[in-house]
Amino acid sequence: MTNSIRRDRIKTLLSQGVSAAKIAEEVGCAPSTVHRIRNGQGSRKGNRAAYMTVTAKVTQRECEALDGLVKRGAAPSRSALIRDLVRRSGGYYEPSPEEEAFLADANQHLSRLGGNFNQIARALSASVRKTGRADPTAAQIEELRRANDEVQRIRGVIGAMLHNAQVKSDRLRETVSAVEGDFDE
Any idea where the domains of the chain sit in the sequence? 1-50, 97-184
Q: Which CATH class is domain 1-50?
A: mainly alpha
pTM above 0.75, yes or no: no
The pLDDT of residue 127: 84
The pLDDT of residue 150: 84
Residues 86-100 as b/e (b if ≥16 CB within 10 A, e otherwise) read eebeeeeeeeeeebe
Task: Judge contact between 95 and 161, C-beta under 8 A.
Answer: yes
Element (H, E) at 1: none
Which residues does the chain have with pLDDT short of 70? Answer: 1, 41-51, 90-94, 179-185
Helices (H), the chain: 3-15, 20-27, 31-38, 60-71, 78-89, 97-131, 138-184
The pLDDT of residue 39: 76
Element (H, E) at 41: none
